[in-house]
Amino acid sequence: MPLVHTGPSQEEPRDERHERARKIHPEYTRGELVRVAGGRNQAEAELIQGLLLEEGVPSMLRRTAGFDVPDFLAAGPRDVMVAESGVAVAREVLSMSELAPSEAEERPFGSRAVRIFAGLLVVGFFGLLLAWVLYQSAA
């Protein structure tokens, strides 16, 4: 009698968590969490999570920074996070399903803030320049 069962498992999943755990490939669970996609709301993010789980990639949802409003728990964008070892597979799955983030979503939040700040500085500089020219012409 063999010590290891070689045939397909006949054990039925006990609950939903047990069924999810059976789908996860352990090689995709190593490393730090990395953002691979974002959903506009919780339902869309859970759809992305389901697509990744079907390929064996475990994921976690996180509220996008700046959208933590307790009164609207299901509203607001969500980040879909996966372990570093599963990033390549997750991006491949998302690109096949046309849910991959665009280049604008890939940029970090700081770059947008820097562009806005630079724009405000330029507008302020031209405002001061105009005020100086008007002051010189009046004198």
Q: Which class for 80: exposed (0-12), middle (13-18), buried (19 or more C-beta within 10 A)?
A: buried
Q: What is the predicted pLDDT for the residue at 75?
A: 75
pLDDT digits (tens, 9 = 90+) for 26-56: 888 888 999 998 888 888 889 999 899 888 8
pTM (global) more than 0.75: no
Q: E-strand spans in the chain?
A: 33-39, 59-63, 78-83
Rg of the chain on CA atoms, in Å: 25
Helix/strand number for the chain, H first, E second: 5, 3
